[in-house]
Homo-oligomer: A and B are copies of this chain.
Amino acid sequence: MNTRLSTAAIDTLRANALRFLAIDAVEAAQSGHPGMPMGMAEIAVALWTRHLKHDPATPEWADRDRFVLSNGHGSMLLYGLLHLSGYDLTLDDIKQFRQLDSRTAGHPEVGHTPGVETTTGPLGQGLANAVGMAMAEKLLAAEFNRPGHTVVDHRTWVFMGDGCLMEGISHEAASLAGVQRLSKLVCFWDDNRISIDGNVAGWFTDDTPARFRAYGWNVIEGVDGHDVEDVDRAIREAQANMDNDIGPTLICCLTTIGKGSPAKAGSAGVHGAPLGADEIAATRTALDWPHAPFEVPDEIRASFDARDRGEAARIEWQARFEAYRAAHPELAAEFSRRVRGDLPSSWRALAPALVRRADNEAATVATRKASQTAIERLARALPELLGGSADLTHSNLTDWPECGAVRADQFGRHINWGVREFGMAAALNGISLHGGYLPFGATFLVFSDYARNAIRMSALMRQRVVYVMTHDSIGLGEDGPTHQPVEHVPSLRLIPNLDVWRPCDAVETQAAWNAGITRRDGPALLALSRQALPHQARSEAQLAAIERGGYVLADAHDPQLIILATGSEVALAMAARDALTADGIGVRVVSMPCTNVFDRQDDAWKRSVLPGDIPRLAVEAAQPDLWWKYLAGAPRSAVVGIDHFGASAPAGALMQRFGFTAEAVTGAARALIEP
């Protein structure tokens, strides 16, 4: 380091290094968002060089601080920080910004770039992810720390802009963080008064500090976002708030978007487009940055390098953890297992045993009730299971006898999320990303709409999150069409990497839960009935086959028809089969609880379940169009579904009205057999 330079001068150079990496990468890509990195550069310097606890060589270190770029379009700021801090992200990677197969995608993607904690870009969700991370930290600390042994103690830091704050999910997330008193959560508001349409005065005039105080946050106002010392002072004040455990902190940083660009700073034009060669030259002059594109002087590079400091911190923690292991060997082993995301060794035997147990019980219950039974049994075996409901606990049936509540000062395992479906789902992603817990959340299936993009993000980020979505289809009954999800099961099936289960009885419900827990690379969503569904008899082979997503539930010597059904309609298919069998017509019934998993089976399995030369009838109380995928190739085929909204009436009356009766299914079946 050039010793002639003052701290302030070094900080200025650091900030400008971040600015120009962003400027140059966006210019090279001819695509991207320079405005935010240029506007938040000093805030980043203050946090990353003075406070952030991380080890660039060990990005997976369990007790690292979590950093979330909720305004993910400013990805180049994060890539610049990761590169200069010493993560495995090279200058060549940065030169490949936004190019095919590069590690520097347009928005930060977790699992794709070392040091990226969550995939952001869809505004507001990063903040909600961070709330989940801070909840996980707090709960894990309560569960594992012991007197004299603090092995969990880290912070969650968030960068966010006006866009995040306008989104509704920011309300859900901030309100939740307040009520849960997440004191180790610190958010930096990039208050630059510009959004894509221009100066926000015309569409965003909230008193944001007052709003966050109303949520129970500590709000630090009036910070100069371009003064590293002022930001540093605010961070230290936030740390003091943490020590007093008085809630999350919002640091309001006054900034200028595109700071440094003579012509474009402070304007929407710098948000999401390259500066252009002339303006870049002008900015180089204005900021006195004589270096070539992508060139960072060695001394600045060295001043950012966090590897030594990070390694020392991690080694210090490792020593503490070894002391913990010595004092609490079982806890330490459990902690290690939990943060690895491994299931207990008992799981391999337990999972099929639970399915067999449900089979033995042969209960006729609503699958939401069967899910509650499954949760209770799973929770006893899996201490990492952590979940709850968006204010429908006694409808979704998510609690269990010894669960205990999660509150600001209570450390149970059941979360009353409040009426916050989207915030819940995004926080579940945060919990899963943090590690240590296997999270689930619940609401009515129809309100999966509210949470939809966060469910998509679970799938995109390959997170093990289980969604418990009850009150499926018109079987919901009297609450009517606003609450009856007729299109939701098929529409959710279309989200890549999401496994949608619609079990037909308690046995399939247990199997669906098992699949969601066993899966490590994506979410599962369970669509569960309000109404009771009868038990279906199965052989051992059939019990094992459920996990294939589609299997033969009942067969005939020489079937003349295959009926495919899911959920509440499997019983109708079985009844139709009985009626036709009585007439000497052989029918195979295929239960298809998860089309997504069935699609991943090999061709031999698929052909064995759905041989090509037999007519097929699909039955599902949902929008029917997707079923044609499973009917293609059959000599004749039809779907019994519902291609319109439901109505308000008792479930039985609706099933009758809309054609979901054994008689109607039998009739549709006959029409295919006797054309």
Contacts and interface: CB of A to CB of B under 8 A. Distances in A.
B628 A100 contact: no
A327 interface: no
Interface in A202-223: 202-208, 210-211, 213-216
A32 to B, nearest CB: 7
Contacts of A291: none
B480 A107 contact: yes
Interface in A382-400: 389, 391-395
Contacts of A405: 202
A449 B447 contact: no
Contact of A649 (B99, B167, B176): B99
A368 to B, nearest CB: 15
Contacts of A416: 197-198, 202-203
Interface in A179-218: 179, 195-198, 200, 202-208, 210-211, 213-216
A198 B479 CA distance: 21
Interface in A343-399: 389, 391-395
Contact of A452 (B214, B449, B629): B449
A653 interface: yes
Given A419-B166, A648-B98, A649-B100, A487 B494 contact: yes
A647 B480 contact: no
A210 B214 contact: yes
A482 B100 contact: no
Interface size class, chain A = 35 or more
Contacts of A447: 122, 453
A486 interface: yes
Interface in A118-167: 119-124, 162-164, 166-167
A625 B598 CA distance: 14
A497 B453 CA distance: 22
A407 interface: yes
A11 interface: no
Interface stretch (A310-318, A505-513, A562-570, A637-645): A637-645
A405 to B, nearest CB: 7
A423 B168 contact: yes
Given A450-B453, A491-B494, A419 B167 contact: yes
10 contacts: A109-B481, A168-B168, A211-B215, A214-B214, A486-B496, A490-B494, A491-B495, A493-B625, A628-B632, A631-B632
Given A109-B648, A163-B391, A197-B394, 9 more contacts: A31-B478, A100-B657, A107-B480, A109-B482, A168-B168, A175-B206, A196-B393, A211-B215, A449-B452
